[in-house]
A and B are shown apart, each in its own frame.
Chain A
Amino acid sequence: MLNFIKRYLAIMVVIAVYIWSMVAIFVTRASEAPGDAIVLRIGHWQLEASVREALDEMAAEYSAIREANGLKPVIIIQDAIPEMTYAQWATTQLMGNTAPDIMEVGAMLPYHLWVQYYNRYFIPITRYVDAPNPYNAGTDYENTPVRMTYKDGMRNSYIEELQEYMSVPLSQFGTRIFYNKDLLYKLTGHEIAPTNYRGFLAACQEIARHKDESGQPYIAIAGSRYHLPMWEGPMFDPITYGVVRVADFNRDGFVGNDELYVAFKTDRIDFHYPPIKARFKMLREITDHFQTGYTGLTRDEAVFLFAQQRAVFMTTGTWDARSLQAQAEGTFEVGVMDFPLPAPDDEYYGDIIEGPNYERLTGGFPFAITRTSKHPEVALDFLLFLASRENNEKLNRIIGWIPAIIGAQVDPLLKAFEPHLRGVYGNLNLFLGGETWIKWLQQYTLYQVNQITYDEMVEEFEPYFEKHGLKDLMEQQKDWRRGMQNNEQYLAGLRAKALYSDAEDQESNWIKYRVLSASRQIWPEINRTRQLKMLYEGPTIDAVGPYEYSDEVIDKVRERIKRELESNEQSDTSLHSPS
């Protein structure tokens, strides 16, 4: 016996632990849910207390509605996983077939991995989002397909590689500047933060002149390496919109990295082009009011400075709104303001800045249903419940976020987050890959911390960019044929789907097949030649810039107007001549 134990001790321990863990899981699960209830597990990375409260409250309401309709109650169990470990957790759960019924998706892992995961582990919901949401019955959306009830049309839920909608987003996000209203008033006398750029800078300067009780100077803006992109995206980058006028050679409305490179190489543009120079000037003017060494600081350090009332302004997103409010409760009042904009008559920026930044509406907080769910129909029904106008408003009111559904009311604090749907956008994509990008990061980082001037940065980077850019771009794109092969693999699957699908879906699948075959497989070689011609021979546009008229076009317009004027004159003459 002793020998037996000695021999098999290790395996017996493993078996015992396995049995113990099974019993523990069974007992825990049984205690979480009554015998007749359907249990739905939901995994997400939102550790904010308000999110968990909101989901619990909505789940209780959902369950009550089900019971009132004679259906089994539903218990929702949340797995709130920290962002740092969500990727590993999601991967192991999905691969081990132990994933929750519903999972928050789309972030923490690279996009291409999510595409693979969607394909293998999640249920497509296209046919359900094309139908009306039953929880919108009795409203204006009673007959509207689910996807059309979304502010962004569920654009981000559609996975183009799969040609399917995969997730149900429940909120919207945006970034703005938060500020300490009491401290701003105390230091500057402003009750409301100035939204004019010069006024904002003046307020920052005024704040920096004051010291707190311990003799430490106040910081105007709490910054960190986490926060800088939240200034760059909405405030600095849109200044470069004007680059479109000289470098958008294919006139698609955007400046590609290849187009920008050609514009530099052919001397159509340089770093002294006013919109480019202005972008970096504004960065300097704003970051001069950040605390020293901000590029080495983390998000938490900046938030701490703000919460401790040592800084007045801080930019962040809707996701932080409620927690900042909670931290400030009883101490100071939190205000939210839009990014300050120079006035049209501003001496320097007036002629350069054309408007506020464009903000695309995109749904966030998206959930998908796993293939291993024992109750996928209930999981879907619960998500539709949360995506109805009334319930989406309620869910987001509890959390403190912006609803994703059209017509759902927004919390007053978040009114300032209403996106700008008419505005300008950045057109300075310097990313060509390889050495030029490393060089850029080195120089730009030094400029950010004021160790080199703008001219020094330009002198160091611009010749390097022009000399090595082409090699980097070619290297980055050398695998373009692989994209065609991936498309071919995908299209063969889609063709099979069309060949073998039911009559109901067949035509739709063939349309998808034809549209994608034509759009993805015909043009890569042509576009490749077009790009090479542009890179080696320069743009073929005759006029000075892509959005300027050639002499031939002006002549055509002149001829037409001349004809119109002559025709008007003739009709005037005939009207006034005696009959």
Chain B
Amino acid sequence: MVVLLAVGFCGCAGVKQDKDAATLLKEGWESYQLGEFKLAIRLFEQAREITPENDPLYPDILYGLATTWNLRRPNQDPALAEGYYNRLLELAPESELAAWTMLGLARMKHLVPVGEDPDYEQVRQGYYNVIETYPDHLAADEAFLYLQASYVQDLEKTSAQKVVDQVTKFIEQNPDSKFISPCYSILSTCYEVLDEPEKRLDAELKAHETAEVDPTNPFQDNSWRYWMLATLAEFESGDFDTARLYYQKLLDEYPQDIRVYSVTLALERMDRIEEQIRQELKQGS
């Protein structure tokens, strides 16, 4: 038994010495993705031990360590995570990971433990930092979304109007942003709060037109969006043409959808109400 253990131990030791930092980093992230956080940290630490601070890979290793200590549950260590994040920003403020690191710091302030409320002033400052420091980075666009959502989340008219101004400006200045569709969705929420149904429908239509779709995900279909656009058009804007268009799209593209019966009812309902009004007008004239 002792011999077996010894052989096993030597084997493990041998493996450790054979691996370079890039391999350890890769395996660290694989372990993270499998939820093996303890192992992920061990692998990232091993990579750190054999990598000098001026090595281009060093920020990647720090980022792995920071993310794992930040997001592992249980046994997370926010202070340690923050330390790693900050060290990365000191060492490599221009690296690709610096923007994600700054976003990670802001998210730490936002995602507080269950039962607590975030300090939104601090949270927003964190997002502003990302946007101002790395304005052309994807992380900045993501930070912008979280920032605006943090304002509109009280569903009050004053906040909604401010967000409309900010998001409209962002869309004008960043028409190619990869997060343009959720920007329109946020606009739609604002117009809902502001009770402006036509603008809301218009924002939702644009959110649909600009939406990115992962074609391999069967849950990410458009049926719910068609349904939402159609009902918005029918009941909020009274735009029956648009409503018919999207109800019909749902019928044509998703004939097995659970709402197909409700769609046929909706189409009949609109025909009926139009006919009723037509008769009333004819009788009136």
A-side residues, CB < 8 A to B, are 116, 119-120, 126, 130, 147, 152-155, 158, 160, 163, 165, 244, 251-253, 354-355, 358, 360-361, 421-425, 478-479, 481-482, 484-486, 488-489, 492-493, 495-497, 499-500, 508, 510-512, 514-515, 517-519, 521-523, 525-526, 528-530, 533, 543, 546-547, 549-550, 552-558, 560-562, 565
Is B255 part of the binding interface, using a Cβ–Cβ cutoff of 8 Å?
yes
B181 adjacent to A518 (CB under 8 Å) = yes
B71 nearest in chain A by CB position: A489
Cβ-neighbour of B261 out of A158, A355, A549 (below 8 A): A355
Q: In the complex, given contacts A154-B218, A518-B182, what are 6 additional A-B residue pairs having Cβ atoms less than 8 angstroms apart?
A: A126-B216, A130-B216, A485-B111, A496-B32, A510-B178, A525-B150
In this assembly, does B213 line the interface, its C-beta being within 8 Å of a C-beta of chain A?
yes
A489 touches B72 (CB 8 A): yes
> CA A478 – CA B152 in complex, angstroms?
21
In the bound assembly, the distance between CA atoms of A423 and B185 in angstroms comes to: 31
User: Of A251, A518, A550, A555, which is in contact with the most chain B CB atoms at under 10 Å from its CB?
Assistant: A518
Q: Kindly list chain B residues whose C-beta atoms are within 8 Å of the C-beta of A252.
A: 224, 227-228
Q: Within the assembled complex, what's the spacing in Å between the Cα atoms of A279 and B174?
A: 54
Determine whether B168 belongs to the interface, using a CB cutoff of 8 Å to chain A. Answer: no
In the complex, chain B residues 43-71 whose Cβ is within 8 Å of any chain A Cβ: 64, 67, 70-71
B214 close to A512 (CB less than 8 A): yes
Tell me which residues across on chain A come within 8 A of B155, comparing CB atoms. 526, 529-530, 533
| Chain A nearest CB, measured from B166 CB (Å) | 15
Check B220–A479 contact: CB distance below 8 A: no
B186 closest partner in A (C-beta): A522
8 Å CB contact of A488 from B111, B153, B218, B219: B111
- Is B26 in contact with chain A by the CB < 8 A criterion? yes
Question: In the complex the two chains form, is B277's CB within 8 Å of A488's CB?
Answer: no
* Nearest CB of chain A from residue B18's CB, rounded to whole Å: 21
Rounded to whole Å, the gap between the CB of B31 and the closest CB of chain A is 10
Can you identify 6 A-B contacts, CB atoms within 8 angstroms? A163-B214, A488-B111, A496-B33, A497-B33, A511-B213, A514-B178
Tell whether, in the assembled complex, residue B212 and residue A493 are in contact, meaning their CB atoms are under 8 Å apart: no
B149 within 8 A of A: yes
Q: Is the CB of A557 within 8 A of B273?
A: yes
Within the complex, what minimum Cβ distance (angstroms) separates B101 from chain A?
11
For residue A479, which residues in chain B have a CB less than 8 angstroms away from its CB?
114
Q: Which of B7-15, B82-90, B236-244 contacts A (4 or more CB under 8 A)?
A: B236-244
Q: Is B127 an interface residue (CB 8 A)?
A: no
B135 lies within 8 A of chain A by Cβ: no
In the bound complex, CA of A523 to CA of B155 (Å): 12
Are A496 and B29 CB-contacts (below 8 A) given A163-B217, A511-B212, A518-B182? yes
> Which B residues between 238 and 285 are near A, CB-CB below 8 angstroms?
238-240, 255-256, 258-262, 264, 269, 273-274, 277-278, 281-282, 285
Give every chain B residue within 8 A of A554 (Cβ-Cβ): 238, 273, 277
**Complex interface: chain B residues within 8 A of A522 (CB):** 145-146, 149, 182, 185-186
Shortest beta-carbon distance from B220 to chain A in Å = 7
A500–B145 contact, CB under 8 A?
Answer: no
Measured between C-beta atoms, what is the minimum distance from B29 to chain A in Å?
5
Q: Are B142's CB and A517's CB within 8 A? A: yes
Please state if A361 and B256 are interface contacts (CB–CB under 8 Å). yes
Residues in A with CB closer than 8 Å to B142 are: 517
Residues of chain A within 8 A (CB-CB) of B146 are 521-522
Contact A120 to B217, CB < 8 A, known contacts A499-B96, A561-B277: no
* In the A-B complex, the 9 residue pairs with the closest CB atoms: A556-B238, A518-B182, A553-B238, A489-B71, A493-B33, A525-B153, A251-B231, A253-B259, A522-B149
Most chain A CB neighbours (cut-off 10 Å) among B35, B178, B212, B258: B258
* Alpha-carbon gap, A421 to B146, bound state (A): 39
Within 8 Å CB of B26, what residues of A? 500
Residues of chain B lying within 8 A (CB to CB) of residue A525: 149-150, 153
Please tell me if B191 contacts chain A, counting CB pairs below 8 Å.
no
Smallest CB–CB gap between B124 and chain A, Å? 13
Please, how many angstroms separate the alpha-carbon atoms of A485 and B78 in the complex?
13
In the complex, which residue of chain A has the Cβ closest to the Cβ of B198?
A556
Cβ contacts under 8 Å, A482 to chain B: 114
Contacts of A484 in B (CB 8 A): 111
Contact B278–A561 (Cβ < 8 Å): yes
> What's the least CB distance linking A563 to chain B, in Å?
11
Q: Is the CB of A358 within 8 A of B273?
A: no
CA distance A140 to B34 in the complex (A): 38
